[in-house]
Amino acid sequence: MKAPALILCCASVLLLHSASSRAQDTLSFEPGGLEACSKVIHMAIPGNSSSGIEQKSFGFECAERDLAIEKRRFDSLSKSVEQRSPEERVAYNALIASFTAFVDAHVATEGCKGGTYCGVINENDRAVINRNFLVMAEGFVKDGFPSFTEDDLARDDAALNAAYQAEFSSLPAGCPAPDPIVGCLSQADLRDTERAWIRYRDAWVIYGRLRWPQVTSTSWLTYLTLQRTKQLPRIDPRPHAQTLSL
């Protein structure tokens, strides 16, 4: 009788440890993330502070923690890819290079340009995009793989083009002398970032088809298109909601 009791006790300890580890790795913008961050950085979740210093410090520390968690996940992902075929490894390396270039371009051009909270906003933006990548690359464990039709792609690609054109037409052609504080997003900047995204999108489709051949190119393209529409500076113009969380 004692042996089964000991086994149950050990199993309970392992489950508690696993749940605790998952909570510690919860990102600040995920459910329960602020509470998890508060415990790790030893700061209370800020309330309404007139100065904003407390919110800024808390937000920055949580954003830095998010990026550190994601770095560990990226490292783990890279190690797992090393065990796969040479073709997949080459495709993954190309994907990571294009993804990094796109994120850097997005934050530099489309990110917050000035103000008290810009550093926190941009760090959080980077963390959210990283998380979206990791959800895909880790195999959509919770949400299931994307499944979209050609009609879905046509509709959402048109919505992305509309959002892009609306933003593009509102921007100056160039910024010869941008304000060092406020900054400037030009049409050329937006175009270059969009081209970087297209390279990332195409690299993802190549890798995704190798890694998960059951998922169609149309599904990958649609899912990535939905993500990009949300990343543009303007509000997503689509009237309909998507079933997959982005």
Top-confidence residue, 205 or 4:
205
- pLDDT greater than 50 at residue 49: yes
Residue 132 is part of which domain span?
85-231
Mean pLDDT value across residues 37-56: 83
b/e 49-88 (16+ beta carbons within 10 angstroms → b): eeeeebbbebbbbbbbbbeebbeebeeebeeebeeeeeeb
Other residues' Cβ atoms within 10 Å of the Cβ of residue 129: 19
Q: pLDDT per residue over 5-37, tens digit each?
A: 544 444 443 333 334 445 578 999 999 999 999
- pLDDT greater than 50 at residue 195: yes
Q: pLDDT per residue over 78-115, tens digit each?
A: 999 999 999 999 999 999 999 999 999 999 999 887 77
Residue 213 lies in a domain: yes
Mean pLDDT value across residues 120-141: 92
Global confidence as pTM: 0.82
Residue 45 lies in a domain: no
The tokens for 130 are 């990283």
Residue 115: the pLDDT is 72
Residue 208 lies in a domain: yes
CA-CA-CA-CA dihedral for 35, 37, 43, 44, to nearest 10: -20
Residue 31 lies in a domain: no
Residue 16 lies in a domain: no
Residue 53 lies in a domain: no
Residue 48: the pLDDT is 64
Q: What is the CA radius of gyration of the chain?
A: 21
Give how many domains the chain has, as a whole number. 1
Residue 15 lies in a domain: no
- pLDDT greater than 70 at residue 209: yes
For residues 123 and 225, what is the distance between their CA atoms, to the nearest angstrom? Answer: 22
For residues 58 and 52, what is the distance between their CA atoms, to the nearest angstrom? Answer: 10
